[in-house]
Amino acid sequence: MALTFAVTPRTQVSALKSPRKRALRRNLTGWAFAGPATLIVIGLSIFPAVWAFFISRAKWNGIAPATQVGWRNYRLLVQDPDMIAATKHTLLLTALFVPGSIILGIVIAIALNQKIRLIGFYRTCIFVPYVASAAATGILAGFVFNPQFGVANDLLRHLGIPQQQFLESQHQAIYIICLIALWGEVGFTTVIYLAALQDIPRDLVEAARMDGASPWRVFRHVTLPELRPVTVFAAIWQTITAMQLFDLIYTTTRGGPLNSTQTIVYYIYELAFQTQRLGYGAAAAYLLFIVTLLLSLLVIWYSRRRGSEVF
């Protein structure tokens, strides 16, 4: 990798030195540039990840000596009813969140792509929730959806609809969380779709119109295919976001009521930092990592086959 760095040739100096020394010097210069970042990545990402793998093969609470248990944690995980429930919740959340954020993103991006007054203001409004931290979003949502004093129930009362428990009902909580997550994240998909829409060559659209295509057909056969690379990217990105959703759950329901909003990541947190089962938690984290990796590979493979390379 160091060889890829080009050093300005300084003929006068380098002529005096042997090629070996020159190579060494070039190598060192390269590493001087790449070194700090490499150290940070290895020290803060790769190293803990490798260590976590060793922890995942032990029974360890972080305090008492660890016992090596081989693959036992992984075997237990596969049959753990809480893990299975958490997986279901995560899948449900992903299945709602990813298409939801993409469709909403496209619709809002098209709306914001019009030439109307105050368009900059509207664009900012849509993006602001994305900039706000999920923790703040969660606390805010807690107020809005409070069953006793919240605005949401106030609204329902005015509409004559029965009062709801929202985040305190085990049947509604996950949908409400999904709604809050959508509100927070849709700004992101909107912005990338807006950029993609403005990237579509105007002559393509105009040519279609000249051929007599209706606006819907233009959208269906010109705009949508042009958006495909961005959609693949958004799908992967939003899947990862949904699978790793934590802060919002932590600040709203903490996995409750009756663990109905406990996602895999929240379950890992609870295992590792609430009940101090670090080995078991690390094993769950590794399973999640492998699944996410496989999913991403699958989507990339599929999109390459379709001929749109995004990654």
Binding site for another protein (CB under 8 A): 1, 3, 42, 46-47, 50-51, 53-55, 58-67, 76, 148, 167-168, 170, 253-254, 256-259, 270, 273-277
CB of 15 to another protein, least distance (A): 24
State both tokens at 193.
């779709």
Is residue 197 within 8 Å of 218, Cβ to Cβ? no
CB of 93 to another protein, least distance (A): 19
Is residue 101 within 8 Å of 182, Cβ to Cβ? yes
- Nearer Cβ to another protein, position 58 or 108? 58
Cis amide bond preceding 201, omega within 30: no
State both tokens at 215.
């606006």
CB of 160 to another protein, least distance (A): 20
- Nearer Cβ to another protein, position 97 or 280? 280
CB of 180 to another protein, least distance (A): 16
Place of tokens 């040739």: 9
- Nearer Cβ to another protein, position 50 or 131? 50
Nearest Cα residue to 66 out of 285, 274, 280: 280
- Nearer Cβ to another protein, position 273 or 311? 273
Which phi-psi region, left, alpha or beta, contains residue 271 (left: φ > 0; alpha: ψ -120 to 50)?
alpha
- Nearer Cβ to another protein, position 63 or 78? 63
- Nearer Cβ to another protein, position 102 or 268? 268
CB of 256 to another protein, least distance (A): 5
Nearest Cα residue to 58 out of 285, 287, 280: 280
CB of 246 to another protein, least distance (A): 16
State both tokens at 303.
């999109």
The CA distance from 213 to 220, in Å, is: 10
Burial degree of 36 (CB within 10 A; 0-12, 13-18, 19+): exposed
